[in-house]
Amino acid sequence: MLSIVAVAMAAIAFVATRGGEPTEREITTISVEETAKPTPTASAEPTGKPKPAKPPVQRAKVYVEVYNNSGITRLAGTVADQAGQAGWQVVGSDNWVGTIPATTVYFPPRLERAAKLLALDLGIERTMPAVDPMRLDRLTIILTGPLD
């Protein structure tokens, strides 16, 4: 008799929960990302040694060569004069043979800051690392047209 009552109860429970959501669910584990740690607030005192300021570029100590890669006569000489008046140590001017896409100041790695300053002084928009056969102890300007 007890087993009949148990089977009847199971049947009632089955019918009563048949349309409902199953009680067992698939559980997937997810990794919990580490929460962001609060960043310390800036203090009034620096934590490390401040970087020493880079010395200013000394125009008179930087050699500059100017080359004309356009059909404009005496362009390299004119721009060499302008660079000299701005304080740069111009050591030569001549014609450049080859194809250059735009007026450019070329620099060896150690003179990159000087190249940007020279370009600013003359209104040249493009600076690039020096390539062979350019000398690596000076800046090289190659002109493709008049400066604005």
Q: Note the pLDDT of residue 80.
A: 97
**pLDDT confidence band for 2 (50 / 70 / 90):** confident
**Does 31 or 63 have the greater pLDDT score?**
63
Out of 6-20, 25-39, 45-59, which region has the weakest mean confidence (pLDDT)?
25-39
Q: Note the pLDDT of residue 47.
A: 62
Is the model's pLDDT at 37 over the cut of 70? Answer: no
Is the model's pLDDT at 16 over the cut of 70? Answer: no
User: Mean per-residue pLDDT for 123-130?
Assistant: 96
Q: Note the pLDDT of residue 103.
A: 97
Reported as a single tens digit per residue, the pLDDT across 53-102 is 888 999 999 999 999 999 999 999 999 999 999 999 999 999 999 999 99
Question: Under the phi-then-psi rule, with left for phi > 0, alpha for psi from -120 to 50, and beta for the rest, what region is 98?
Answer: left
